[in-house]
A and B are shown apart, each in its own frame.
Chain A
Amino acid sequence: MTHTARWLRGLPAGAVAVAAVTAVVALLEPHLPALGLLPLYLLAVLPVAVRWGAGPAAVVSVVSTVLFGHLFLPSSRRWWFAEVDNGVAIGVFLVTAVVVGNLAARLRQAAEHAARLSAEQAALRRVATQVAREVPPGEVFATVVDEIGRLLGADSTAIVRLDPDGGRAVVAQDGDAPESADELAIPVVVGGRTWGTLTARRGSEGFPAGAERRMAEFTEIVAIAIANAESRTQLAASRARVIAATDATRRRLERDLHDGAQQRLVSLALELRQVESAIPADLAELRTDLDRMAGDLTEALDELRELSRGIHPVILSEGGLGPALRTIARRAGVPVELDVRTASRFPEPVEVAAYYVVSEAVTNTTKHAAATHVRVTLDAVEGALILRVRDDGAGGADPAAGSGLTGLRDRVEALGGSIHVTSPPGEGTTVDVSLPL
């Protein structure tokens, strides 16, 4: 409420209150000493002090005193207050009324301030909680415009993003204000650069003092929410890049081994067999030696092959998930039942992630779960690849332990997917993965 409004409303209200108290005093005055009734006017002063402040209350005090003196204090002199008794009583009342009025007004102000502060703190807390829960920035923005609109009594609030090309995008808005409205705009600074602005408009009476400071506290939280979201996006992107680069390196390594060392050794083994078969029958010893060497070479080749296979499963790039998962199933140490409901090819990172999830889960089951059966389900539905690996083993697997599952989580989350491991003791382990397509 503005200064003028307080006086404009406080004085008439004071007049009414004074009139009411005067009526009561007039009723009681024939029966009681008049001076004793003077404090009753505090009943008029106090409400005015509480509601409209100390100034109007002081005026009400003075008016009450003058009125009371004129009406109820008999005087032999020309002026009633010239009598010593009256003068002292009136003086005491006036001082009391002004002091009490002041105190009441301050109390009221303090209470108002506390209420405003607590509403503001509660609003900040709600927004901060959302930021801490890492809800998407869009939701934080919506909450902020809503809270600020309510706190400041604004007709409209908005968060506007400034694009590097000079464009402006309204990312959240609440309410609608006329063009002529009073506008507050606070810059939102993220990492040293002006990301955008937080604006509030109020038509009727403009913003109260301190509104700007209160809005500024919100811009800090908004900036944190934006910075967090940007960091998360960058982190996910960099995680995806690291994984993609690793996969590409592994694929190239497998390929290089195949095209280089393996190819040469295979040709060598074939030549060795040729030489061996060309050796005359009477050189049996030499023949045996060569045969052993060819055998060793084959073993070395198999070891190399095993190594390559661990580096990158060639069948995945060649044949897709179906054949690749069947290869895992065939090599697994437990019976694996496959239910592959899609024959499509998917983006390479998705195929590789799905492959490693199944491979790791089946390996874990074989090693730790004492399971008799694993069931793998793969399906493509509504823009996502859904994968489930379920065993009938011991359960009780700790998803936090072991780097295998952590690696899978990195891989899946880098693609924007989700992975859930449920493993109640005695009830087997289920790994659920969803990968966006």
Chain B
Amino acid sequence: MVRRCLIVDDNERFLAVARTSLERDGLEVVGTATTVADALDKTDRLRPDVVLVDIALGAESGFELTRQLVERHPDLRARVVLISTRREDDYADLIALSPAAGFVWKAQLSAGAVRELVAERS
């Protein structure tokens, strides 16, 4: 069951909006992170069921974070969801190649969309 979630994004406003939105739909946001190092650290400590990763993390890459997350926590394979302001089509190949469960456009982020993706893949 997908209950506890970590959001990784370098935009504070979005983090706040996303937290409200997801929590109202019954997904507990156990933490937020803004950098790759921060995200790895919080994942180690908080053990979320699912990690939402923004693809463009300032100068860092969400794809790279996804790879590292799955390497450190094999149970997170297909439990990382990539999110972005850009559309899925902008990254299509790279999303397909990453070990993430899939992609949700930020404007359409919801607990339902996340659950659907993770359930599909696990």
Identify the A interface with B (CB < 8 A). Answer: 258-259, 262-267, 269-271, 273-274, 277, 297-298, 301-302, 305, 308-309, 314-315, 318-319, 322-323, 326-327, 330-331
CA distance A322 to B96 in the complex (A): 13
Q: Quick check: is B21 within 8 A (CB to CB) of the other chain?
A: yes
Instruction: Give the most central of B55, B86, B97: most A CB within 10 Å.
Output: B86
A270 and B86 within 8 A (CB): no
A267 and B94 within 8 A (CB): no
CA distance A262 to B24 in the complex (A): 24
Residues A270 and B21 in contact in the complex (CB < 8 Å), given A263-B14, A264-B13, A301-B107? yes
Residues of B within 8 A of A266 (CB): 14, 85, 105-107
| B20 partner, pick from A265, A274, A315, beta carbons under 8 A | A274
* Binary per-residue interface labels of chain B (10-48) against chain A in the complex, 1 for a CB within 8 Å, 0 otherwise: 010110011011001000000000000000000000000
Identify the B interface with A (CB < 8 A). Answer: 11, 13-14, 17-18, 20-21, 24, 55-56, 61, 63, 85-87, 89-94, 97, 105-107, 109-110
Residues A319 and B20 in contact in the complex (CB < 8 Å), given A258-B56, A258-B85, A314-B86? no
Report the 10 A-B pairs with minimum CB-CB distance, sorted nearest first. Answer: A323-B93, A269-B107, A266-B106, A262-B85, A319-B94, A266-B107, A267-B17, A267-B14, A266-B85, A270-B17
B5 CB to closest chain A CB (Å) equals 15
A326 and B93 within 8 A (CB): yes
CA distance A314 to B87 in the complex (A): 11
Residues of A within 8 A of B92 (CB): 315, 323, 326-327, 330
Residues of A within 8 A of B21 (CB): 270, 273-274
B60 CB to closest chain A CB (Å) equals 12
| B90 partner, pick from A264, A270, A273, A305, beta carbons under 8 A | A305
Residues A271 and B107 in contact in the complex (CB < 8 Å), given A305-B86, A314-B90, A315-B90? no
Residues of B within 8 A of A330 (CB): 89, 92
Residues of B within 8 A of A327 (CB): 89-90, 92-93
Residues of A within 8 A of B93 (CB): 315, 319, 322-323, 326-327
CA distance A318 to B109 in the complex (A): 23
CA distance A267 to B108 in the complex (A): 10
Which A-chain residue is minimally distant from B105 (CB atoms)?
A266
B9 CB to closest chain A CB (Å) equals 10
Can you sample 29 A-B contacts with CB below 8 Å?
A258-B86, A262-B85, A263-B11, A263-B14, A264-B13, A266-B105, A266-B106, A266-B107, A267-B11, A270-B14, A270-B17, A270-B18, A270-B21, A274-B24, A297-B107, A305-B87, A308-B86, A314-B56, A314-B86, A314-B90, A318-B55, A319-B93, A319-B94, A322-B93, A323-B97, A327-B90, A327-B92, A330-B89, A330-B92
Residues A323 and B94 in contact in the complex (CB < 8 Å), given A258-B85, A305-B86? yes
Residues of B within 8 A of A308 (CB): 86
B73 CB to closest chain A CB (Å) equals 24
A328 CB to closest chain B CB (Å) equals 11
Which B-chain residue is minimally distant from A326 (CB atoms)?
B93
CA distance A305 to B90 in the complex (A): 9
Residues of B within 8 A of A277 (CB): 24
Residues of B within 8 A of A326 (CB): 92-93
CA distance A258 to B85 in the complex (A): 7
Instruction: Give the most central of A270, A271, A273, A314: most B CB within 10 Å.
Output: A270
Residues A318 and B94 in contact in the complex (CB < 8 Å), given A270-B109, A298-B107, A305-B87? yes
Residues of B within 8 A of A297 (CB): 107
A270 CB to closest chain B CB (Å) equals 5
| B107 partner, pick from A270, A315, A318, beta carbons under 8 A | A270
B94 and A315 within 8 A (CB): yes
Residues of A within 8 A of B94 (CB): 315, 318-319, 323
A309 and B17 within 8 A (CB): no
B75 CB to closest chain A CB (Å) equals 27
A sample of 20 more A-B contacts (CB under 8 A), given A263-B11, A315-B91, A330-B92, is A262-B85, A262-B86, A263-B13, A264-B13, A266-B14, A267-B17, A267-B106, A270-B17, A270-B107, A271-B17, A274-B21, A302-B87, A305-B86, A305-B87, A315-B90, A315-B94, A318-B61, A322-B93, A323-B94, A327-B93
Which B-chain residue is minimally distant from A271 (CB atoms)?
B17
CA distance A271 to B87 in the complex (A): 19
CA distance A323 to B95 in the complex (A): 10
B108 CB to closest chain A CB (Å) equals 8
Residues of B within 8 A of A315 (CB): 90-94
B36 CB to closest chain A CB (Å) equals 15
